[in-house]
């Protein structure tokens, strides 16, 4: 399988600040790829370089087999983190406009815009001006504008941030259906849990540097085991358990990171005495834990 996107040693500096530091990655066609890292870790800069909005200082990018995005813009869909619509335009119009900008025929774009709005429950808002739409509807229209031309590669920058639960679901559906159609989806996020649910492969980045990348199953193998715990009681009791390396405590929920030779049964036994256990789940460590371990500190979310 060919790669939809290849980055090789891409570096971008803003003055003395290195925003992206010799980043390399291969993203196979047809996959959902998560680009993870805290805010300010260089995700958006990398994406902007991929989109040829910024140019790298060093390194090369190959996108859909081309050295830069200029010549393949019509085959790309891009949803930036900072996004908006023309307030005075009607929803169907603006979708069709985005479509024609991507090289679609005017009629085809109009028809497709109308179909998409029907399909995603905005059929009665075709003639509504964008300024009259709720924030959630606006987000929907923005997403539809990104995929109206059925792009081969979709790049979404923080697509889940600020979405209501309904649109969150919609976003997930769209990403999954793109994959079903053999398309490649790359999205960035700083919320690890989202990536964990739908990504085939991920790349973890911090301060402009790659920490780890690969298929999600392999990435997880590197981290060893853990226990997911839902509990009620005093969180202090979670500390000092035998074989527990570290605790990521969220009050009602905690992740216990185990040493290699830890005995989960013993841990459960001791826990039952101290707190009320509502769920006890032995599993691989979460991406969050992997990330924390890799950076060796607290994640700055």
Partner 1 sequence: MSNKTILVAQREYVENLRTKTFWVGIFFFPIIISLSIVIPIWLEKTKDVRKYAVVDHSGWLLEAVEKRAAMPDLEKVFKAAIDDIDAKDPADFEAYPPAVQEIARFLAGGKEKAREVLGDKFPAALEELSDEEFRKQYVKAVAIGISMLDSPQIAAAQRFGMIPREAVEEALARREEIKTWYDSLSPDDAREFGSTLSRGRYERIELDLEGEELIAKLSEMVDREKLFAYFVIGDDPIAGNEGFKYVSNNLTDEGLINWFERHATAEVRERRFEAENIDRELAAEIQMPVDFEMKKVSSTGEEEEVEKTEIVRQWAPVAFVYFLWMAVFSISQMLLTNTIEEKSNRILEVLLSSVSPLQLMSGKIVGIMWTGLTMILSWVLSTIVLVTFLPGLLGAKGDVIDFASIARDPFLLTSFVVYFLLGYLFFAALLVGIGSVCNTVKEANNLMMPVTVMLMLPLFAMIPISKDPNGTLAKFLSYIPPFTPFVMMNRAAGPPTNFEYVATSIILVLAIVFVFWAAAKIFRIGILMTGKPPSPMEMLRWLKAPIGQVPVRHDEE
Q: Tell me which of 20, 25, 27, 51 binds partner 1, using CB under 8 A.
A: 51
Of 15 and 165, the one with the shorter C-beta distance to partner 1 is: 15
- The three-state secondary structure class of 278 is strand
CB of 47 to partner 1, least distance (A): 10
Separation of first and last alpha carbons in the chain = 35
Identify which of 211, 215, 230 has the alpha carbon closest to the alpha carbon of residue 296. Answer: 211
- By rule CB under 8 A, what string of x and - marks binding of each residue 58-97 to partner 1? ------------x--xx-xxxxx-xxxxxxxx-------x
Residues 6 or more apart from 277 whose CB is under 8 A from it?
A: 229, 230, 231, 268, 271
Q: Which stretch binds partner 1 (CB under 8 A): 44-52, 199-207, 254-262, 291-299?
A: 44-52
Which of helix, strand or coil describes residue 213?
strand
Residue 25 or 76: which CB sits closer to partner 1? 76
By the rule CB under 8 A, 101 interacts with partner 1: yes
- Contact present, 213 and 227 (Cβ < 8 Å): no
Q: Which of 16, 182, 240, 251 binds partner 1 (CB under 8 A)?
A: 16
Separation between Cα atoms, residue 218 and residue 264, nearest integer Å? 23
Asked whether the beta carbons of 207 and 296 are under 8 A apart, the reply is no
CB atoms closer than 10 angstroms to residue 264: 17
Nearer to partner 1, 84 or 296 (CB): 84
Only segment of 46-54, 229-237, 277-285, 292-300 that touches partner 1 (CB under 8 A): 46-54
Determine if 15 is a binding residue for partner 1 (CB under 8 A). yes
Complex with partner 1: residue 75 or 293, whichever CB lies closer: 75
Binding range to partner 1, per CB under 8 A, among 15-23, 113-121, 180-188, 250-258: 15-23
Which residue from 10, 31, 64, 98 is in contact with partner 1, where contact means CB under 8 A? 98
Contact 76, 69 (CB under 8 A): yes
Beta carbon nearer to partner 1, 75 or 220: 75
What is the C-alpha separation between 12 and 230, in angstroms, rounded?
43
Under 8 Å between Cβ of 216 and 32: no
Phi, psi angles (nearest 5°) of residue 158: 50, 55
Closest among 138, 151, 200 to 51, alpha carbons compared: 151
- How many amino acids of this chain bind partner 1 (CB under 8 A)? 34
Q: Per CB under 8 A, does 237 bind partner 1?
A: no
Residue closer to partner 1 by CB (options 15, 251) is 15
Q: What residue ranges bind partner 1 (CB under 8 A)? A: 14-17, 48, 51-55, 57, 70, 73-74, 76-80, 82-89, 97-98, 100-102, 142, 145
């Amino acid at each position: 399988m060919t790669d939809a996107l290849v980055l090789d040693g891409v570096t971008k500096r803003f003055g003395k600040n290195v925003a992206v530091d010799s980043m390399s990655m291969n993203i196979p066609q047809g996959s959902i790829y998560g680009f993870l890292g805290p805010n300010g870790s260089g995700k958006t800069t990398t994406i902007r370089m991929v989109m040829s909005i910024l140019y790298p200082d060093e390194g090369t990018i190959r996108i859909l087999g081309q050295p830069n995005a200029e010549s393949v813009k019509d085959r790309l869909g891009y949803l930036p983190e900072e996004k908006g619509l023309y307030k005075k335009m009607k929803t169907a119009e603006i979708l069709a406009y985005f479509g024609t900008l991507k090289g679609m025929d005017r009629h085809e774009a109009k028809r497709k815009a109308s179909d998409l709005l029907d399909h995603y429950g905005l059929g009665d808002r075709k003639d509504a001006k964008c300024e009259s739409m709720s924030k959630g509807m606006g987000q929907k229209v923005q997403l539809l504008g990104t995929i109206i031309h059925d792009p081969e590669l979709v790049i979404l920058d923080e697509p889940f941030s600020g979405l209501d639960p309904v649109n969150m679901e919609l976003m997930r559906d769209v990403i999954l259906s793109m994959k079903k159609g053999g398309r490649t989806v790359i999205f960035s996020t700083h919320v690890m849990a989202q990536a964990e649910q739908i990504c085939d492969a991920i790349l973890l980045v911090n301060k402009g540097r790659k920490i780890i990348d690969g298929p999600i199953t392999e990435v997880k193998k590197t981290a060893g085991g853990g226990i997911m715990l839902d509990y009620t009681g005093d969180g202090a009791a979670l500390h000092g358990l035998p074989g527990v390396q570290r605790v990521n405590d969220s009050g009602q929920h905690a992740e216990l990171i185990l040493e290699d030779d830890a005995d989960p049964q013993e841990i459960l036994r001791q826990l039952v005495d101290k707190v009320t256990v509502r769920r006890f789940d032995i599993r691989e460590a979460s991406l969050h834990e992997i990330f924390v371990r890799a950076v060796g500190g607290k994640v700055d979310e």
